[in-house]
Structure 1
């Protein structure tokens, strides 16, 4: 395409609401987004999907990156808090949580270490966590730096303490408007009145029955589970059939209401602090919570020659203001690291690797930038463009480097086999979610209309569910009409991954994942050929093609390859495709429907479909 046409395509993609869905997956990998706690029970995190939706909305609206960072680190301490800024602090609740730790005090510091690791690597490209136990000769970050950084988060309440109820008390708050709160209170009042009225009707019948009970029935009557059966015995004696029927209906309504009280929808998983006064922070000798050493206060890493933190307690929040001071420093134009780190990530998201390949480690143990001047210029542009992520996407996508061919030049390959100089565009395999979404898109099944909301649960084979410590628990397979939403909306359970996604290197959500490394394994080909999902979609694909072309085999093959490869098939591909279908029928005894379905399965396994060049 011409430059003008290419730019128009880029702008069209930016304007699409699906832009945020696509790019959000990179950020969610980085912040170890998952929707369950890990460990044995691996229970779901309430309302955590709202954080995912927040990221999608932020990227679609081109929220400035500095604001994006401030909201996640200190959205509850900002001068103007909003529902979005509260939801953003769910960032702190994304990590694993052991609800039954062997050493509770060590677990506290493990959770803080998870926050420090994700924050320092994700926003600063520094591995502060390496200094948790002691200083290192070759690392300028000291143990004092680590615990001074920890002090910014020391007042954060733990995600929970053992019970799920404690999670709701410590990590969930209302984000409802005043009108929504009033509506909820009115709904709650009506609910309580109805429950009380039903209970009164039940008591009237039960008191009459209680007077006629004999022997062991008196004790049995106290148990809800057997009460209805006992009352049934007294039909025609102490109670009529119609009264019993009314009682049974009333009891069912009362039970249903009691088990499903009204829930205010506008709640969010978020961070909370213990109060406006922060506890003291000690350096821990060898990282042991039982070996406290020198006191330290909140401070930025000394290697960066930072200013003193400017900490002010927010007037409207029960917190210290320390996290806001950290967020303000991180997004200051005087701090060069966050802009360089994010500019490098944006480059990586498009090219498959960053100018600094170790994109979570800009330190001495990380890799050197291949083009340091380019990285500095991109970081400077990022800030001068008002921290606009879309502006940086636009800059990169319209560059000559991005438009490079993936064709190999022998001379260049000899001089730079790793393509460190970006003399060609690296071919890459689709990410796990892209493979699933592309399969659904090819056969017209991808649901692109519905965005946001609670996650979906695709079908997982019974054999996989049976291998869990609690088989099938917390995996309620979604209705058929909900299963074909984009993969970004799939429920991410740490101990149970969708097999197709797991096979194609979906992120490990226990840790920050700056880049997914594409592996090549036999299980990937086996999964694409034999998985129930891919075979079902191949069958749908064949049925859809058949509805369009009827019994015209040539047209069937042509349309299938066109939709899969997004180009007209060659004569050779047409000939071989028809020969394959005929061979499956004649030599292997398959019906026409089976042969056409298997041809579609083959098409979905083509490298041209699975790779971008």
Structure 2
């Protein structure tokens, strides 16, 4: 019967879906917090949620199928609202750290869908735990898993609070040292470097490249398939031209330097498809890595 409970929960799910809550201080609904942008909507959602058995699946369906969510995220020149407090455009924000990793695994076909069980230890730069651990700590030595458990969803990643995985930290995953109500969202050059060079990203890009080559014969068809797979929309002509140019430049590079292609193919533990030409797979790996690191793939909008 306490109305605050349903209001806080509804606001939390609105925050997850739209990037900001109806109350933009989700941790504070009192006098020190912000007033809701649409108090009547918040009240209606809270009452409706409570009267329908606190059904979370129904609530998510309600939000995701709403006209507010389905509208374009493009800024409107006729209605200036930089913070989108009137919800006059759809949400636009970067995916969370775990989703960024899981998206690359899913699109490449590497994702291990096993549910439950012990946490896995993924690829990680050597020496991190030693540098940040007590000399007598029994967790100072990191031993990466070497089976297909390293391709499980990020939900099951082994987490050391004093030394979280660098890719998770780079993309603003909470450290878990204290409660986190709302994640920060940063955009740095280091994120771009990690997306294009981290071992699991390169491995996923290679497997995605192999998937593209098997899917179609023509380069244009492969580009269309790649773009629609990662963005759920058809590419524009300017996007096709940019990816085609990158592909041709990469083919030229690897045909002249086959050793670079072999080095790129050696990233990760997954097997390389020996039936496919190395230089072509390497070129498509660059295209796949670029798309996986692009705004259309990493942003919800």
Structure 1 residue 347 corresponds to structure 2 residue 35: no
Partner of 1:527: 194
Specify the alignment match of 2:274 in structure 1.
none
Q: Does 1:567 align with 2:266?
A: no
SS in 2 for 1:483: helix
Cα displacement string for residues 451-499 of structure 1 (whole angstroms, at most 9, x for unaligned residues): 1122111121104334322586374422321111111111222112222
Distance change (3 Å), C-alpha of 1:381 and 1:602: same
Distance apart, 1:520 and its partner CA? 0.9
How far does residue 603 in structure 1 lie from its aligned partner after superposition? 1.6
Whether 1:608 aligns to 2:296 is yes
| SS of alignment partner, residue 401 of structure 1 | helix
After TM superposition, list the pairs within 5 Å mapping 1:291-330 onto structure 2: none
Residue 375 (structure 1) shift: 1.6
Q: Are 1:460 and 2:148 an aligned pair?
A: no
1:564–1:347: structure 2 CA closer, same or farther, 3 Å change rule?
closer
1:598 matched to which residue of 2? 286
Uncovered stretches (5+) of structure 1, i.e. residues with no partner:
1-332
Equivalent of 2:160 in 490, 493, 498: 493
Equivalent positions of 1:511-522 (< 5 A) are 511-522=178-189
After superposition, the Cα gap between the structure-2 partners of 1:590 and 1:603, relative to the gap in structure 1 and judged at 3 Å, is farther
Query: Structure 2 matches for 1:127-166, cutoff 5 A?
Result: none
Counterpart secondary structure, 1:434: helix
Deviation at 1:359, TM superposition (A): 0.5
Distance 1:375 1:570, change over 3 A: closer
Render the CA deviation track for 1:363-393: whole Å, top value 9, x for unaligned.
2221111112222222222221222222322
1:518 Cα deviation from its structure 2 partner: 0.7
Cα distance in 2 between the residues matched to 1:491 and 1:338? 32
**Matched residue, 2:248:** 582
- What is the CA distance between 1:584 and its match in structure 2? 2.7
Q: Structure 2: how far apart are the matches of 1:345 and 1:486?
A: 23
Partners of 2:205 and 2:168 in 1: CA distance: 17
The answer on 1:443 being equivalent to 2:99 is no
Report the alpha carbon displacement of residue 555 of structure 1 after superposing the two structures with TM: 4.0
Does the aligned pair in 2 maintain the 1:435–1:610 contact within 8 Å? yes
Flag structure 2 segments of 5+ consecutive residues without an equivalent.
Answer: 259-278
| d(CA) in 2 for partners of 1:396, 1:558 | 30
Tell me how far 1:609 sits from its aligned partner.
0.5
1:238-387 aligned at under 5 Å gives the runs 333=1, 335-387=2-54
Is this contact kept in 1: 2:123–2:199, CA < 8 A?
A: no
Distance 2:241 2:90 in 1: 32
Distance 1:389 1:573 in 2: 38
Could you tell me how far 1:534 is from its partner in structure 2? 0.9
Q: Distance in 1 between matches of 2:211 and 2:33?
A: 50
The DSSP-based 3-state class of the residue aligned with 2:282 is: helix
Pair 1:401-2:89 in alignment: no
Aligned length: 276
The answer to whether the 8 Å contact 1:584/1:590 transfers is no
- Tell me by how many angstroms 1:527 deviates: 0.6
Give the C-alpha shift of residue 505 in structure 1: 0.5
- Cα 1:561–1:343 shift into 2, 3 Å: closer
Is the 8 Å Cα contact of residues 562 and 568 (structure 1) preserved in structure 2?
Answer: yes
Tell me the equivalent position of 1:473. 140
Instruction: From the superposition, tell whether residues 339 and 568 of structure 1 become closer, same or farther in structure 2 (CA, over 3 Å).
Output: closer
- Tell me the CA shift for residue 581 of structure 1: 2.3
Aligned to 1:174: none
Distance 1:481 1:338, change over 3 A: same
Inter-partner Cα distance in structure 2 for 1:392 and 1:556: 37
